[in-house]
């Protein structure tokens, strides 16, 4: 299982919080690439509910991870 920013972006509008099956259904309905569906299927499911993408991909970068000065733009 691997995630990239592009793949994770397909889950930005997912109906959080959601179960694994709900996320897979969402990815299929919205036309996400096959890699997104495969990554979701690879999650070891113990019936838990995921609150956001960070629960699935702990290394998901946040706004604090990008170093730029918003005042300059």
Percent of the chain with pLDDT over 90: 66
What is the pTM assigned to this prediction? Answer: 0.81
Q: Is residue 66 part of a domain?
A: no
Tell me, what's the pLDDT at 10?
95
Q: Would you say residue 48 has pLDDT above 60? A: yes
Give the residue-averaged pLDDT of 18-41: 96
Domain that holds residue 28: 17-44+53-58
Per the structure, the count of domains in the chain is 1
Residue 10 within any structural domain of the chain: no
Contacts of 5 (CB under 8 A, 6+ apart): 61
- Total length of the chain: 73
Contact by Cβ (8 Å): 20, 43: yes
**What is the pLDDT at residue 51?**
95
In a domain, residue 32? The reply is: yes
């Amino acid at each position: 299982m691997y995630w990239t920013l592009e793949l994770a972006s397909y889950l930005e509008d997912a109906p959080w919080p959601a179960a694994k099956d709900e996320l897979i259904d969402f990815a299929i309905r919205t036309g996400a690439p096959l890699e997104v569906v495969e990554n979701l299927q690879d999650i070891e499911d113990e019936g838990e509910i995921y609150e956001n993408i960070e629960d699935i991909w702990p290394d998901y970068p946040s706004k604090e991870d990008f170093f730029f000065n918003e005042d300059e733009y």
